[in-house]
């Protein structure tokens, strides 16, 4: 693996990104680019609102899906993964300052756990998107008399085999290996309910931080 470097979209300086989708070498360049390429604030705010609502609704339904209906249960988990990663991407793309402020408010240990959990869920999204069987990553709970044993939120994430990189360019391989390691460290062995609760809790905090800024941008644009 070689260090991933790219050129800043604003000033052209080569830099090593901390996030896989980073486009700017510093906050100043990101702010300057945003001023020059200001999109529709109302559309940005709307995208956050509807994606957050979809994520909350989907995650909330997980506890209601019967564990005996395995195809439906795996589809529900896959849908929850999709919406969590959509909200995460929406916040990073349109509300990065609020996102980083909430991340910075966590202890280093908690921050590592949150960021690792979200990166691990991106690994799951990419595996499902590549038409892998979600059952490869999920260990169903053992049926029992207790209600918890019949809930898919008690199913656990399996350790994953090393990903194949046959058609990936070097940069793609590096980021996918980062996601894979995050999955192994922060998802494998944990329950689906615990992982989704943690990811959703952080994203809801970041969205709440972003909403006043988004509302102000909408008012200023009118």
Contact between 65 and 184 (Cβ < 8 Å) = no
Q: The whole model's pTM is what? A: 0.79
CA 141 → CA 53, 122, 138, 193, distances in Å?
Answer: 28, 23, 9, 12
> How far is the C-alpha of 148 from the C-alpha of 141, rounded, in Å?
9
Burial class (CB in 10 A: 0-12, 13-18, 19+), 135: middle
What pLDDT was estimated at residue 106?
Answer: 93
Supply the pLDDT for residue 2: 42
pLDDT at 103: 92
Q: What is the pLDDT of residue 23?
A: 77
> Residue 211's pLDDT is what?
80
Q: Which two tokens stand for residue 86?
A: 């959509």
Averaged pLDDT, groups of 10, the chain, 222 residues long: 69 79 78 67 71 90 88 93 92 84 93 95 88 86 55 92 69 80 95 95 92 50 40
The pLDDT, as a whole number, for residue 145 is: 42
pLDDT at 142: 65
First-residue to last-residue Cα distance in the chain: 48
Q: What is the pLDDT of residue 219?
A: 42
């Amino acid at each position: 693996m070689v260090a991933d470097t790219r050129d800043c979209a604003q000033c052209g300086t080569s830099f090593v990104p901390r996030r896989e989708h980073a486009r700017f070498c510093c906050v100043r360049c990101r702010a300057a680019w945003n001023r020059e390429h200001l999109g529709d604030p109302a559309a940005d705010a709307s995208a956050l609102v509807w994606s957050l609502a979809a994520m909350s609704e989907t995650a909330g339904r997980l506890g209601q899906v019967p564990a005996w209906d395995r195809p439906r249960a795996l589809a529900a988990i896959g849908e929850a993964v999709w919406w969590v990663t959509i909200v995460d991407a929406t916040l990073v793309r349109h509300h990065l300052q609020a996102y980083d402020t909430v991340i910075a408010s966590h202890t280093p240990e908690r921050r590592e756990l949150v960021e690792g959990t979200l990166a691990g869920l991106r690994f799951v999204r990419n595996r499902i998107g590549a038409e892998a069987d979600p059952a490869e990553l999920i260990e169903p709970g053992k049926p029992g008399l207790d209600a918890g044993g019949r809930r898919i939120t008690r199913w656990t994430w399996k350790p994953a085999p090393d990903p194949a990189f046959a058609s990936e360019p070097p940069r793609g391989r590096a980021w996918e290996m980062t996601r894979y390691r995050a999955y192994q460290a922060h998802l494998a062995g944990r329950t689906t309910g615990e992982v989704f609760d943690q990811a959703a809790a952080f994203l809801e905090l970041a969205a709440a931080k972003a909403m006043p800024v988004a509302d102000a941008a909408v008012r200023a644009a009118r």
